[in-house]
Chains A and B, each alone.
Chain A
Amino acid sequence: MRIGPAGRSGWLVARVVLGAVLLGALILPPPALSEEQRVAIHVGTVLAHAGASGHDPALGPLSAQLERMFHYPAYRLMRRQMRSAGLGREVRFRLPGNRTLVVVPTRLQGSEHVVLKLMLDEGGRRLIDSQVAVAGDAHVLLGGPPHAGGVLIIAVGARPVSAEPLPGLDSAGPVSGGER
């Protein structure tokens, strides 16, 4: 079957359009991620030990809470960390003794609960794999790993944060371009 001049030009246009679409898919960035729900995760690492008793003022209200729940003579705040992450994104917190706390906010539950996957690794070996839910100022305490003659108590809390653009920054998405 012979193809006329009109058919040839139509075929040419279709090829150009198809090529442009494929090229665009390769070059253009994916949709911006700025609208995703973010979760603020805070982790406080406390060393509970049998040394000289005393309050670490840096612990704040957590100090009295720990004393009511456990009967160690002394508590010392080793580190306080805060990160934010989108739902489904993994966040890793380095802890003493070659340990890592892996936190994945998986979903929001009700109006204020945040469901988290909590995994504690030690030297490349998993110790705990759990799923918890926290709301407001509540937290999950992950305790027991020995460290420096005492034990670590890791307090984990989370709450959803607004996805509104941050003041002072443009409204572009976090990774809306570049070498993706």
Chain B
Amino acid sequence: MTCAEAERLIDAFRDGELDARTMRLAALHLARCAACARELDRQERLGELLRESLGVGEERAADDADSEWIRAGVIGGIVAEAPRGFRLAAAAVGIRGVLLGRGGSRVAGEDDGAAVEPWLRAQPRGPSGLGVAGGLIALAAALVVAVYFGAFGPEDESERVARESPPAAAVAVRVADRALPQPSAQIPAKAPQPRLVRAEGRPAQIESVHGFGRGEVQVWAEPRERAAVIWLGTAPPGARDLEVQR
């Protein structure tokens, strides 16, 4: 795993949302790369500061049967019952603290270091037996791999999802606020996107909407509530009296 990949996965890693294999690869990388471990530390600290400054509480998981819902920031007492992937994440955090010379988060019920699975431990690096030629060959190989993945690498997941999604659906605009946003004209049934008038200065505004698949998509503004709404499917209760323009 490269630093760029690790950086992209750090948030999901923090939340224990990666699959077991990716979690393992990310944990290995974070255990060995001080720069990425520092970025993880920075992200955690930034999250704490944001929570304090914005007055947003701790993340909260639902009483949901969905096993993917793992709470973030609970490296404390419940690690023992957490899924394997999350335990690995916690272990990696512990390793990072050791590598950086700071106190890492402690894995519940176990000593730092002792809790780390053998494959996850930082490997001692002895003197390299490779000569200059070996190093150059490795660099050349890395360059070839980088060029290959740059040109033929895996497709971005968002692009793949968008490509595989069904055709766009019609969008209705419910006019809760006469001023904004409003459709500029009748919207043909097949049109995926109404032309919305931009509302400069509104605290929340919807600039464009593409709906996919069957069913209706509705958008409207609630300026008094400092909110705008995108709604999939039938109108929610309370929005019945809004005028609909298609």
CA distance A90 to B49 in the complex (A): 21
User: Does A40 count as interface, using CB distance less than 8 angstroms?
Assistant: yes
User: Known interface pairs A65-B225, A166-B45, A174-B7. Does A132 touch B12 (Cβ–Cβ under 8 Å)?
Assistant: no
* Residues of chain B within 8 A of A139, CB atoms compared: 204, 226-227
- From 46 to 88 in chain B, residues with beta carbon under 8 angstroms from any chain A beta carbon are 46-47, 49-51, 54, 56-62, 64, 66, 68-69, 72
Give chain B's interface residue range (CB within 8 Å of chain A). Answer: 35 or more
Say yes or no: B50 contacts A65, CB within 8 Å: no
Say yes or no: B41 contacts A169, CB within 8 Å: yes
* Residues of chain B within 8 A of A177, CB atoms compared: 34-35
CA distance A68 to B237 in the complex (A): 11
User: Known interface pairs A78-B62, A127-B212, A130-B210. Does A90 touch B158 (Cβ–Cβ under 8 Å)?
Assistant: yes
Say yes or no: A130 contacts B62, CB within 8 Å: no
Say yes or no: A124 contacts B230, CB within 8 Å: no
User: Known interface pairs A135-B203, A143-B229. Does A84 touch B43 (Cβ–Cβ under 8 Å)?
Assistant: yes
* Residues of chain A within 8 A of B200, CB atoms compared: 110
* Residues of chain A within 8 A of B43, CB atoms compared: 84
**B235: nearest chain-A partner, CB-CB:** A144
CA distance A58 to B84 in the complex (A): 29
Interface centre among A38, A96, A159 (most CB of B within 10 A): A96
CA distance A137 to B55 in the complex (A): 11
- From 33 to 81 in chain A, residues with beta carbon under 8 angstroms from any chain B beta carbon are 38, 40, 42, 45, 47-48, 58, 65, 68-72, 76-81
User: Known interface pairs A144-B233, A161-B50. Does A138 touch B203 (Cβ–Cβ under 8 Å)?
Assistant: yes
User: Does B232 count as interface, using CB distance less than 8 angstroms?
Assistant: yes
Say yes or no: A166 contacts B42, CB within 8 Å: yes
Say yes or no: A180 contacts B4, CB within 8 Å: yes
CB distance from A9 to the nearest CB of B (A): 22
Say yes or no: B69 contacts A133, CB within 8 Å: no
User: Does A125 count as interface, using CB distance less than 8 angstroms?
Assistant: yes
User: Does B112 count as interface, using CB distance less than 8 angstroms?
Assistant: no
> Interface code A75-101, partner B: CB below 8 Å = 1, 0 otherwise?
011111111100000111010111000
Say yes or no: B229 contacts A128, CB within 8 Å: no
Q: Which 4 A/B pairs are nearest by Cβ-Cβ distance? A: A138-B203, A144-B232, A71-B238, A78-B62
Which residues of A are interface residues toward B (Cβ below 8 A)? 23, 26-27, 29, 38, 40, 42, 45, 47-48, 58, 65, 68-72, 76-84, 90-92, 94, 96-98, 102, 110, 115, 118-121, 124-146, 148, 151, 155, 159, 161, 166, 168-170, 172, 174-180
What would be 6 A-B contacts, judged by CB atoms less than 8 Å apart? A26-B139, A78-B60, A128-B212, A131-B208, A139-B204, A144-B231
Q: A130-B230, A175-B39 are in contact. List 6 more A-B contacts (CB 8 A).
A: A26-B139, A90-B8, A110-B200, A127-B165, A127-B232, A129-B212
